[in-house]
Amino acid sequence: MKPERNLSDAPLHGMIGFTIVLIAQLVSVLASNMGSFALTVWAYQETGSATTLGLVSACFTVPFILISPIAGAMVDRYDRKLMMMVSDLGAVLATTAILVLKATGRLALWQYGAAAVVYGLSGAFQWPAYMAAITIMVPKKHLGRANGMMMLVESGPGVFSPVLAGLLLPAIGLTGILSIDVVTFFLAIGALLVVHVPQPAKTAEGQAVKGNLLKEGLYGFRYIFERRSLVLLLGLILCLNFAYGLAGSLITPMVLSRTGNNAAVLGTVDSAYAVGGVVGGAIISA
């Protein structure tokens, strides 16, 4: 007869475990957004070039797009908790490298671009794993609440991080903000260590498409292309994101060039944009 398991020794799970991970992730995303904001200001101050900011953005976006199909397949195939921890670890290693280079006076723009590639690769694994974890960590009756909390992680830091970074940057500099970012990464990883993230049950449909990672990654495209309405919807989203990318990449250099590289003003503008997004989302939800 097996001894009865002591629940006090079990890892935190369910809604409690999810809430712990979410709070740690909220703090980590807030600090990461502050670090990204500070690095963008630094890059513009170093070059005064909008084109440079666009290239750095491409260093993040292109790897993110290219690896996403494979990342999704890996999240489905391997332990999701491990995938979340690996994505956080990749990001913290890149941030630590940038921090050391900046502290020693050796940070160059190409190194920031290389770090952006790592951020893009890490992000491609991070959010699919976190989103997929909701459905297996949280009881069905709390899924609506959990999705609302995840929306807070996505939109909340965007409201506060730019203005905080803009105010802190003159006081503690890029090195100080990156140091905060590194510390909060370990908070996010520590939260994952103490919670239980179950693996999803295997289904017949899932087993039918199982193969190598490339085959599993391409299955998603095949599923979409077989449904005309999905193709049209994704085409619309692609056009909107392309237009936003063209305009959005010019906001930072426009504000900085007209305010004497004032990071506080840029932070206020970015926070106002995020507030508009939150209000718009709330109106649509209502």
What residue numbers bound the domain in which 85 lies? 12-142+173-197+211-259
Q: What are the tens digits of pLDDT across the range 164-189? A: 898 898 889 999 999 999 999 888 88
Q: What are the tens digits of pLDDT across the range 271-286? A: 888 888 777 766 765 6
203 domain-assigned: no
How many structural domains are present in the chain? Answer: 1
80-103 vs 143-193: helix axis angle to the nearest 10?
Answer: 60
- Percentage, residues of the chain above pLDDT 70: 87
Whether pTM exceeds 0.85: no
Between 22-26, 162-166, 193-197, the lowest mean confidence (pLDDT) is in 193-197
- Percentage, residues of the chain above pLDDT 90: 18
- The mean pLDDT value of the chain amounts to 81
Between 28-32, 94-98, 211-215, 220-224, the lowest mean confidence (pLDDT) is in 211-215
pLDDT for position 195: 82
Q: What is the CATH number of the domain that holds 243?
A: 1.20.1250
Instruction: Give CA–CA dist 185/180, Å, rounded.
Output: 9
pLDDT for position 6: 43
271 domain-assigned: no
274 domain-assigned: no
266 domain-assigned: no
Closest CA to 38 of 248, 267, 251: 267
